[in-house]
Structure 1
């Protein structure tokens, strides 16, 4: 089986590439500079020439606040390029795996979000990601879409990297105590993705670690594991006055996929401990 990965330099693309390399998979992993997924002709040439069985899209426009102004760029990458990718996978008979976000929900549900809940995205970023989901469903009969949340791993495009930067330059950190989701490692995403593929799953699933936390709880746990002594002040989401609206509660249930795969997905804090110890996140 041959894998084609878009978004090689992102944290999820990096995790896939490392896993494939260690486990001797046949794969081609491409960065944005090597292949921008908005370039239809180039994407088609690569798929036509390489003939992958599975295309894994780890490319995304994920600058949540900047997307409020750069809405055209966000939709080009997160929606229209995904529609074209779906069309190409249909034409060249490739199986498409794509990643969406917990931000497709508005945060008003007082329970875990399931795959049956109707999205109501609040920001341009979230709307573009939801549009990408719908395009895949309209274009392909067989696919895998995984909604993920608060993803962290090797790389700079995640909250923990930013937290490290803030901790190095500030005596006190203000972190939202009223924003909840599920911190999820790139390792968990890769492992569950490949299990789902191996068992022939198709459709849309929520793929997170288990449990949930506020950003405040997540930050405290992480800095404790890193043995960084810092005062963390419990602030509110509204204190930061960010351009993009974010759901205060976007906690998704992973029960559907864990039951189908008959696997226990680790709790977010247990996985975080392993990631800090084993991968020096």
Structure 2
């Protein structure tokens, strides 16, 4: 099956590209410099000649704080872009896979969110991503996979930034009251492909197993990197940000892992494996 990958230079899109390359599978890839997914005509022009059976939408506007002042841009990429892809998928009878976020939840539950929980985003980023989900679900046979605290090869993930922060003088303060699930792009790729193999549709939570605070994540990451500097637990309120964030946005992957009959790696195991393989 031919696949078309958007957001191919981001952490997740690049992970799919590497996997498809390694397998020798037929695919085409595009990023913002070659395809503006907010332009419906451009999407049609890109997809029609290639006629992919699978569209993997890894493109996203993920600048959470900037989205508060760049709302129209966030909604264009995160909502109108998926809408354009959904319309194209419907016409081409392609399967559209879209990746969502834990930031559609408000944190009031304080227990792992399931697919049955009602979204209530606190910021423009979350609202734009939720709208994108709604558009994607209009495409028959579509698959929405919600992710959280995504990391993979590249310089944009939390762990890469953490190493830089650790080199600066002074205490390294990290929120201990912000809880979710670090999720590795390599695991996302493998589980997504398994879901497609099984013909899964609908909306599911795809994270690594378990959950932790950002402080716990930082502590493990620094230990694996061999950094002696210890993080200092802090509160989210200490960090002045433009966007409100849920204090608790961990999602349960139990429904997805149960449906597929697989065990998704624990977040600790994947963080450790990622660092040891990418030092």
Does residue 69 of structure 1 match 2:64? Answer: no
Q: Stretches of 4+ moved more than 4 A in 1?
A: none
RMSD, matched Cα: 0.9
Aligned to 2:46: 46
Aligned to 2:160: 161
Q: Is the 8 A contact 1:171 1:230 kept in 2?
A: no
Q: Is the 8 A contact 2:39 2:84 kept in 1?
A: no
SS in 1 for 2:47: helix
- How far residue 170 of structure 1 moved from its aligned partner, in angstroms, is 3.4
Residue-by-residue CA offset, 1:211-244 (whole Å, 9 max, x unaligned): 1010000000000000001131111000001110
- How far residue 36 of structure 1 moved from its aligned partner, in angstroms, is 1.6
TM-score by length of 1: 0.97
Rounded to whole Å, the distance in 2 between the matches of 1:212 and 1:3 is 32
Rounded to whole Å, the distance in 2 between the matches of 1:180 and 1:111 is 10
Does residue 205 of structure 1 match 2:204? Answer: yes
Name stretches of at least 5 consecutive residues in structure 1 with no aligned partner.
Answer: none
Aligned to 2:15: 15
Rounded to whole Å, the distance in 2 between the matches of 1:51 and 1:189 is 24
Name stretches of at least 5 consecutive residues in structure 2 with no aligned partner.
Answer: none
- How far residue 81 of structure 1 moved from its aligned partner, in angstroms, is 1.4
Q: Is the 8 A contact 1:106 1:247 kept in 2?
A: yes
Aligned to 1:195: 194
Aligned to 2:267: 268
Aligned to 1:151: 150
Aligned to 1:26: 26
Q: Is the 8 A contact 1:83 1:136 kept in 2?
A: yes
Rounded to whole Å, the distance in 2 between the matches of 1:174 and 1:127 is 29
Rounded to whole Å, the distance in 2 between the matches of 1:165 and 1:63 is 19
Rounded to whole Å, the distance in 2 between the matches of 1:277 and 1:231 is 19
Aligned to 1:174: 173
Rounded to whole Å, the distance in 1 between the matches of 2:185 and 2:5 is 15
Rounded to whole Å, the distance in 2 between the matches of 1:102 and 1:87 is 25
Rounded to whole Å, the distance in 2 between the matches of 1:5 and 1:149 is 20
Q: How does 1:237-256 map to 2 (within 5 A)?
A: 237-256=236-255
Rounded to whole Å, the distance in 2 between the matches of 1:221 and 1:53 is 40
TM-score by length of 2: 0.98
